[in-house]
Amino acid sequence: MTRSVVVVLLLTVLVVLGAGIAYQRVFDERVASTPDVDPPRPKPPPPPPPPHDFEVPLPPAIPNAVLKAVHGTVQVRRGNDEKGWVDAAIGSVLAVEDSLQTKRGAEATLSIGDGVEMRLSSRSELNVRELTPTGARVRLDRGQASGKVVDGKVLMVQSRTGDAQAESHGGTFGVVTDGDGGLGVATTTGTVKLTTTTTHESVDVTAGQESRVAAGAPPTVPVEVATSLFLKMVPLATNQTNQTSATLRGTTTPGAVARVGDKTTTANERGQFAMQVSLAYGRNDLEIEVQDPSGRREVRREVIISDPKKPDIKPGPVRWGAGVDPGGPAPDATRKN
C-alpha cells in the first residue's frame, strides 16, 4: 500500500513538471513570434516661416560735417584738446564739440550731410553742438555765418550763451552775433524762426526780412532787410589824448555788429553804438568794422595818439550827430591830422 502511494505521487509530480515545461515552451514561442513595437516618437517642430521679401531697414546714419571749401587761414579745435587750434584743409571732418574758426580775410564752407551747408565768414567761430540724420545744431560764438538748408532738413544756430537761436527747415539765411548772447537774422528764402530761449518768445522771419535778439530781450518785430550797410563815425574832438583808453562812437544799420579788435557790440534800434578801447603809448591805428546778418561789412579807421606824459591834452566834448548823416555819403576811411 505504501509503495503504491509513492508511485502515484511520483507520477503526479512528473505530470505537473511536464505540463509546466510544455506551457513555458508555448509562451516562449508566442513571445518570439510577436514583433517589436517602438515607443511613440515626439512630433517634429513646425517648419520655419518663409523668408520675408524685404530687408529690415537700418537706422539712419549720422551725417558728417566736412569742410567743403577753404579760403585763407581756417583752423579747427578738437573738443577740449589742450593743443588748441590747428590748421584745417578741405576734407577735414568736424565731430560734435569740435570748433571751427576763420582768421582775417578767410572763409570756410561746411557741408553737413546731403542737405545742410554753412559758410563761415572772416574772423568768425562756430562750435558743432549736435549732428542728427535730419540736420545739425551749431553755436555761433562770434562773427557771421550763412546757412543753406534743403526742405526736410533742419539747421539750428544758437548764440554763445544759448539765449537766442535761429531755426530753418528749408531756405537760405544769414546770422551775426556780438558774442554776448545777441543774434541777428536776415532771411533770403524760406522762413527762419528766431527765439529767445529765456522767455520762449519767437518770431517768424520770412524771405526779405530781418530781426534780432539782444541778450535777455525778446526778438524784434521783423522788418525789411536794409538795402545797404553804412558806417558813419562820430568825429573825434581830438586825435591826441593823455588817457590810456578812448571811446569810439558811430552810426550804422540798426542791429549790425560793430567790432574794434576783440571788442564787439550791437548797434541799437537807432543804429548808434559806442565802444571803449584801450590805447597803447604812441600811435594807435584803430580799425572799426561793422557787419550785418547778411554778411555785408564796412570798415573805417581812426588814428589816436596817446601820451600820458602830457597832462595838458584834453579832449573836447563829443556830440552825437556831429558829422553823422545816415542818409549822406560816408566820411573818408582814415582821418588825416
For 103-132, write each residue's pLDDT tens digit.
Answer: 999 999 999 988 999 999 999 999 999 999
Mean pLDDT of the chain: 84
In a domain, 36, yes or no: no
Q: Which three cell numbers stand for residue 259?
A: 567790432
Q: How many helices (H) and strands (E) does the chain have?
A: 1, 23
pLDDT at 26 over 90: no
Same domain, 232 and 83: no
Q: Which three cell numbers stand for residue 169?
A: 527747415
pLDDT at 335 over 60: no
In a domain, 258, yes or no: yes
Distance CA 77, CA 70 (A): 16
pLDDT at site 196: 93
Same domain, 218 and 231: no
Query: How long, in residues, is the chain?
Result: 337
pLDDT at 319 over 50: no
pLDDT at 295 over 90: yes
pLDDT at site 291: 96
- At which of 204, 224, 244 does a domain end? 224
Distance CA 214, CA 227 (A): 22
Confidence of residue 3 (pLDDT cuts 50, 70, 90): low
Of all residues in the chain, the percent with pLDDT exceeding 90 is 61
Q: Which three cell numbers stand for residue 37?
A: 513595437
Q: Compute the half-sphere exposure of residue 147: CA atoms within 13 Å on the CB side of its CA.
A: 36
By DSSP bridging, strand 245-252 and strand 272-278 are antiparallel
pLDDT at site 276: 92
Summarised one tens digit per residue, pLDDT across range 37-94 is: 566 777 778 877 766 655 656 666 778 899 999 999 999 999 877 778 999 999 999 9
Same domain, 216 and 289: no
Instruction: Assign 249 to helix, strand or coil.
Output: strand
Same domain, 192 and 230: no
pLDDT at site 325: 41
Of all residues in the chain, the percent with pLDDT exceeding 70 is 78
Planar angle of CA 250, 317, 329, nearest 5 degrees: 35
Same domain, 216 and 76: yes
pLDDT at 34 over 80: no
Confidence of residue 239 (pLDDT cuts 50, 70, 90): confident
In a domain, 115, yes or no: yes
Quote the pTM value.
0.73
Same domain, 155 and 196: yes
Same domain, 196 and 334: no
- At which of 175, 209, 224 does a domain end? 224
Q: Which domain holds residue 230?
A: 226-337
pLDDT at 288 over 50: yes
pLDDT at site 57: 67
- Look up the CATH number of the domain holding residue 188: 2.60.120.1440
**Across residues 178-201, what is the average pLDDT?**
93
Count of the separate structural domains present in the chain: 2
Residue with the larger pLDDT of the pair 60 and 271? 271
In a domain, 52, yes or no: no
In a domain, 92, yes or no: yes
Kindly report the backbone phi and psi dihedral angles of residue 25, in degrees, each rounded to the nearest multiple of 5, phi listed first.
-65, -45
**Across residues 143-157, what is the average pLDDT?**
95
Looking up cell 550791437, which residue turns up? 266
Distance CA 79, CA 333 (A): 40
Confidence of residue 321 (pLDDT cuts 50, 70, 90): very low
